[in-house]
Amino acid sequence: MIEPFSTDEDLARRLDREDPLASCRERFHIPRQPDGSPVIYFCGNSLGLQPKSVAARIGEDLDAWARLAVDAHFNAAAPWYSYHEQFRDNGARLVGARPGEVVMMNGLTVNLHLMMATFYRPTAERHAVLIEEHAFPSDHYAVASQIRHHGLDPVASLLLARPAAGEVVLSVAAIEELLLARGRDIALVMLPGVQYLTGQVLDIGRIAAAARRQGCRVGIDLAHAAGNVLLDLHDTEIDFAVWCSYKYLNAGPGAVAGCFVHARHGRDASLPRLAGWWGNDPDTRFDMGREFVPQPGAAGWQIGNPPILAMAPLRASLEIFDQAGMDALRAKSIRLTGYLQQLIEAVAGHGVEVLTPRATAERGCQLSLRLRSRGREALAALAAAGVVCDFRAPDVIRVAPVPLYNTFHEAWRFASILGRIAGGGTGGG
């Protein structure tokens, strides 16, 4: 919350002057309008902006390829053979894990399938997967297909957590009650860290504790949580987590994803998995043997060679995260998002409903707005006024003031534009 709160533009400018992270914005390319002015980019929840250092990072690897060719696997400044190990520490810091519990590889849904191959082992008694009713479609597809892969029927084995009647957000207490009632049937709990449509942050630790009491495995989709909210994956003792890197992590379209496997599993070579060459012990990988010997940690679930040119942007982005620090980013996010919500409520009146929970612990830097019967029209008007956000059917506009590159003055301008649109005007400003 901002104290004292005011809708005056002067407050927005003062908050930007006092922002200790203000210089981070200069490290990103901000898209421009036709007149050359920067857009208000509130769409980092879909695709983060490009760090200016990305081109140099990719250039280093292109140069190594040109000069060294195959020898770059071992002789490049960032050797390709061990390229993924660059993220061993900073990837772990990002999500509250220990070194070795995180590996960057594949895409989110591929990683989800790899994790379910290990951690979804249904039996006649314990066969269900608990997901949310409005899970991101790719998660729903993956989970349902894994159930069918085991010869089961999603109608019987897919258990849905639903908001209460008349509500839009999930109740953690209701999830606990569901686990208490059906836990003996549930093989895997698969829920989001942040719900993609509403922006609700779920209490992962509380849910994981309830699931463990019932003997369930726990996996979390962090697509909208990694780089957005503070995470403590190791201490929550979840079994695994997966996330993408093209949203808040700014690693580019289709970027290499992340995967967390808790240390208690990373040391267990007996766990069933879909194995591949790059998950094998690197000390014996080139012995070309037929016996798979998984390397310890999450890296033991790798399948193929790291995609070097696709990983270079992630190097650039995580350098910025490390320098800014998640604690500082989260502190600004709470302030910036709270400020934006107060502005919206002050200028837009009753024509706009904020679906995202108000409590700061229950939201990241996304606000989901419902403009009654005018969602698509409002989105077009926002775009015409130089605002980039997105729409999710049937009626939700999602806006994400990202602390790395968005400003308080942008929040003020957005609210002014939205107020005119909600009041029947055409926007501007």
Question: pLDDT tens digits for 138-192?
Answer: 999 999 999 999 999 999 999 999 999 989 999 999 999 999 999 999 999 999 9
Checking if the pLDDT of 429 tops 90, the result is: no
pLDDT given at position 360: 95
Q: Which helix (H) or strand (E) holds 11?
A: helix 9-17
Residue 16: partners with Cβ closer than 8 Å, 6 or more residues away: 22, 407, 408, 409
Q: Are 161 and 131 in contact (CB under 8 A)?
A: yes
Contact 228, 248 (CB under 8 A): yes
Domains of the chain from N-terminus onward: 9-30+325-422 (3.90.1150.10), 58-322 (3.40.640.10)
* Encoded tokens for 64: 């190594």
SS3 103: strand
Q: What is the pLDDT of residues 258-274, one digit of tens each?
A: 999 999 999 999 999 99
The pLDDT tens digits for 318-347 are: 999 999 999 999 999 999 999 999 999 998
What average pLDDT score do residues 50-67 get?
98
pLDDT at 3: 65
Judged by DSSP in three states, 217 sits in strand
By CB neighbour count within 10 A (0-12 exposed, 13-18 middle, 19+ buried), where does 395 fall?
A: middle
Residue 427: pLDDT over 60: no
User: How confident is the model at residue 286, as a pLDDT?
Assistant: 86
Could you tell me the two tokens for 60? 């280093």
**Helical axes 308-324 vs 54-68, angle rounded to 10°:** 140
Q: Which pLDDT belongs to residue 218?
A: 98
Cis peptide before 4 (omega within 30 of 0): yes
User: What pTM, to 2 d.p., does this model score?
Assistant: 0.95
pLDDT for 22-56, tens place per residue?
A: 999 999 999 999 999 999 999 999 999 999 999 99
- pLDDT at position 17, please? 97
The band of 349, judged by pLDDT with boundaries at 50, 70 and 90, is: confident
CB 57 within 8 A of CB 77: no
Q: Measure Cα distances from 6 to 10, 13, 213, 350, 421 in Å.
A: 9, 12, 47, 19, 21
**Average pLDDT over every residue of 219-243:** 98
- 């609700």: which residue's tokens? 200
Q: How far is 205 from 237, CA to CA, in rounded Å?
A: 8
What would the pLDDT profile of 377-410 be if each residue is shown by its tens digit? 889 999 999 999 999 888 899 999 999 999 999 9
Average confidence score pLDDT of the chain: 95
Neighbours of 215 (CB within 10 A): 11
The residue-averaged pLDDT of 348-373 equals 90
- Spell out a b/e string for 71-85, using b for 16 or more CB atoms within 10 Å of the CB, else e: ebbeebebbbbebbb
pLDDT of 209 higher than 80: yes
CA separation for the pair 255, 246 (Å, rounded): 5
* Nearest-angstrom CA–CA distance, 236 and 205: 5
**CB atoms < 10 A from the CB of 41, how many?**
22
How far, CA to CA in Å, does 256 sit from each of 46, 283, 310, 332? 15, 25, 7, 27
Query: Has residue 424 got a pLDDT over 80?
Result: no
Using DSSP, state whether 390 is helix, strand or coil.
strand
Report which of 249, 251, 412, 271 is spatially closest to residue 342, judged by C-alpha positions: 412
Nearest to 76 by CA among 87, 65, 88: 65
What confidence tier does 428 reach under pLDDT thresholds 50, 70, 90? very low
- pLDDT attached to residue 423: 76
Report pLDDT for 373.
Answer: 63
pLDDT value at residue 348: 79
> Cα 368 to the chain's mean position, in Å?
16
pLDDT per residue as tens digits for the range 118-130: 999 999 999 999 9
pLDDT tens for each residue of 93-125: 999 999 999 999 999 999 999 999 999 999 999
Query: Do the Cβ atoms of 233 and 96 come closer than 8 Å?
Result: yes
Strand order in the sheet with 240-243: 102-104, 258-261, 240-243, 217-221, 186-192, 128-132, 158-161
Asked if the model's pLDDT at residue 4 lies above 70, the reply is: no
Rounded CA-CA distance 356/114 in Å is 32
Spatial distance between the Cα atoms of 26 and 400, rounded to a whole number of angstroms: 18
Q: Which residues contact 77 (CB under 8 A, 6 or more apart)?
A: 60, 64
